[in-house]
Structure 1
Amino acid sequence: MGLFIRRLIDNINHILNNNRYKNRNNLMNINNLTVSFDTADGEIKAVDNVSFSLEDGEILALVGESGCGKTVLCKSLMGLLPENALVTAHDMVNENLQVNRRFAMVFQNPFTALDPTMRIGKQIEEAIRIKNKKFNRVQVKTRVCELLEQVGIDNPKERSRLYPHELSGGMRQRVVIAIALAADPQILLADEPTTALDVKTQAQILSLLKQLNRETGMSMIFVSHDLYVVSQIADRVVVMKDGRIVENGSVQQIFETSKSEYTKKLLEAARIIHGDKSNNEDYKA
């Protein structure tokens, strides 16, 4: 058995042996979600009749190649699609999902997600004031420092005065996560949050997301094209291709008894890309 496969199995067993994954309540149901775009060349369907559920405290991975509909699906939940988007669905949420704290999103590139002309503390303040309209200035400043500490940024008072370009890529992504946490979401949508980062920083961000999931009980939809990354964080996996779900199952089912040929190709691609580097400490979240 190769080191890559052993590492995948170790990740899966760690998830399965953790009691926090048992006895969860259903948080959200997506039924027959379709997203199309009205273009000059006609209607283009990006998400085609997709259905899945998300449980309270669960980390669900959306996996597939670029252009398969993962990001469009997440943006449809956030209401961030352009005006030419046509969305149809049934029962996208249920009674366990509170209207005022449903979703927050972490985007792939933290540099473009942040305003380069504003200090990071001010950007976090904006998110805090949306959620806590009655907070006074001192409470907002205190909350900024709390959030920065929560995402692993030390000296938060001093760091809050910095601009995005004064931070590393990993630090910028931590700031984006802090902004998302300011909304106290029940569901965090993480759209390939580690793709633009080096391997070591990628592992640190994955570790942070798992820690936040444990500490807050927040559910996550984690978008990725890399099944090795998914093996380190997900409880369950939804595999998408051409806007449709081709496979949906527990992390154990997807990695050990996958039935879809497309999923098997993604697994093979992950093995080729990561290979025996998977035993490197820099790869471990």
Structure 2
Amino acid sequence: MRTTIRGALAALALLPALALGAPAASAASPSPSATASGTPAPATKAGTSFLTAVNLSPGQDANVSVSTGDYLYWAFGASEGQTPTVNLTVNLAPSTDRHGPQTWTVEVFDGLRRRQACTAGTQNATGDQSATTLALNCTLREVRTWAEPWSGDPLPGTYYVRLSVTDAPQPDLGLAATAQLHVAAKGNADNAQPEGGTLKAPLVPPVGGGAGTAKAAAPVAEKEHWYTGWFSGWNSRWYWTIGGGFLAALAGVLGYHLTRHPRGRRPGHYGAVPPQGSHQHGSYAERP
């Protein structure tokens, strides 16, 4: 009996120590939302439209399970001076379950949902039935600080990534696959070109650069003719207008006289028409 009481008292004495040690153990456990390097954990979901696109924080990747044939959307931010690059790796369904080649496409849109052109990369990739993975990538133009309203230049803001299947056998639609997305960007605000700035390098380098390309060709003078001055000068249009009106009036008068018969005359081959009015009245008068 005494042994039992002593054991119970010893257990009660250890309870405060156990209560103090529990929080320390839980604080040491790593957070499931961040990796050991401090970068955000990869996103495990994707949207099905622009409105439901999954936002990716800077440096965050995406690793999602997809269904072949679905449209997948992600969103990321880009600032001026940056050149974003979107890299995608698609792990296809097992070859035993597929019935033919598949074509996957990646597209990038700006905040106004305008499709942005890719300056480099493979936007469309086709894998035959034996392929296991497909690599897609798209490098955008440098994000500018300003642009004309009519142009489609990339501006700072949100960009959308769309991954889709453009060609696949009908039985393959719905097969399970996985996709890994990584967005990289080079450059910063110091690299952005302000309005009216100068280019850091020529857009198109000269072909066969050297002393020969430095000499500009002299402009070729236009050959003059005797009628060259008629079509030049600030008042030449008035001369042509007056001359054209006079010629039009003359043509109208000549055409009128050529197509109109003389008044009161008939052609000679028809002969003269004898008067008949008096003879007819006289014959009626002689009747009883």
TM range (shorter): under 0.3
Instruction: Judging by fraction of residues, say which structure has more helix.
Output: 1
Indicate the structure (1 or 2) with the bigger Cα radius of gyration. Answer: 2
* Greater length-normalized contact order (CA 8 Å, ≥ 6 residues apart): 1
Normalised by the length of structure 2, the TM-score is 0.21
Normalised by the length of structure 1, the TM-score is 0.21
